[in-house]
Structure 1
Amino acid sequence: TQADMTNFELGRVFSLIIIPFRSFQLLISEEQQKACLHTVHRHLSEEGYFIINVFKPYAQLDKSWIQPEVLDWETVDPITSNKVRRTHVRREIDLENQIIYPELIYYVTDQDGIEEKIVEPLALKYYYEEQIRNLLQSNGFKIVEEMGYYDRRQISEGPELIFICKKE
């Protein structure tokens, strides 16, 4: 199921709202980001928690981010016995707007050797730590905890930016 995370009304508030696994980064315009955070704020109870995750750029990104197709993993589907291989390509980077354009590519080979290629093009906004911190704070959130990965390591030591927030 797909829905618009920037503008919806559920008619109630929640004690926990999460935007996990980098999905916030699919909102590439500032208008979309602010609308989403406003919608979250509206649906969050006064004592509730909002948890958001974005990846941390490994360095100052530049055109060297672009790269040809690379294998991520291979597996055999235990139900269908199909071979599944996922690769990715780093197609383009927009340095001015901080948007990367990777593609996830799935190769599915059935038992007869027929291969299907499924391409999932993405556009992802990337944030440096202070940028996402400022975005959250300027949209009514107070950061109460931060982590660098799901194992709760320090934010300076992990590949992710995970913020636990409350309403300001």
Structure 2
Amino acid sequence: SETPAVRKRVDLYQGDMRSFDLGKTYPLVVIPFRAFQHLIDVKDQRACLECCRDHLTRQGRLVINLFDPNLRILAANLEVNATAVRKVGEVDVGDGERVVAYSTRTSCPEEQRFEEEWIYERFAADGRSLWRQARKFSLRWFGRYEMEHLFELCGLEVEKLEGGFKGQPYQHGGEQIWTVKKA
């Protein structure tokens, strides 16, 4: 946990990123964890970017993290049976119990999106299933130039595009870390 002085400088809000009015502007607005990619429709994407722009100070910056679509992985996913369930992780939670994560993916290249279902199951030490939860979500992928055009359409100017959280150069199939400002 951060000190009270640090916490006082940060505002965290939970709400709809397509439609918000916080009543003030900020020098930095961040959309982390690829959250923007949950906006499937262009109308929603534009609404979000325009709200963010309206909440930036004159010299403010908007930082957005996206994954860059890796064409080899996307092509391979088209070949995979959409109903195939794959194990993606397992965690020992103590006392011999464990949680196993599985996922399935259906790709829709015409819409640049995929739908995933993540299934979490907790097992007792003797192997019995204690509970099972499933979560579905859709993600849209964006190419570099598509994002540049979307920013321009929304009155934003690209300051830089980086390929990682430590300032690495952008490269295909990695991260897209965008820093943009008001145009």
Gaps of 5+ in 1: none
Structure 1 residue 142: Cα displacement: 1.3
Tell me the number of residue pairs that the alignment of Structure 1 and Structure 2 aligns: 166
For 1:55-66, list aligned pairs within 5 A: 55-59=67-71, 61-62=74-75, 63-64=78-79
Q: Aligned residue for 2:51?
A: 39
Say yes or no: does 1:54 pair with 2:69: no
Q: Secondary structure at the match of 1:28?
A: coil
**Per-residue deviation, 1:3:** 2.3
**1:15-58 deviation digits (Å, cap 9, x = unpaired):** 11111111101110011000001100111111111100111111
Structure 1 SS opposite 2:85: strand
| 1:84 partnered with 2:99 | yes
Q: CA deviation at 1:82?
A: 4.0
TM-score, length of structure 1 as denominator length? 0.87
Identify the structure with the greater helix proportion. Answer: 2
CA contact (8 A) 2:70 2:173 kept: no
CA distance 1:16–1:58, shift in 2 (3 Å): same
Look at both structures and tell me which one has the larger radius of gyration over its CA atoms. 2
User: Structure 2 counterpart of 1:17, which letter?
Assistant: V
The one of 124, 132, 156 aligned to 1:141: 156
2:145 is equivalent to residue 127 of structure 1: no
2:15 is the counterpart of 1:3: yes
Distance 2:131 2:14 in 1: 24
Calculate the TM-score normalised by the size of structure 2.
0.81
* 1:77-104 deviation per Cα after TM superposition (whole angstroms, max 9, x unaligned): 36x87411222211x2222221111112
From the superposition, tell whether residues 157 and 151 of structure 1 become closer, same or farther in structure 2 (CA, over 3 Å): farther
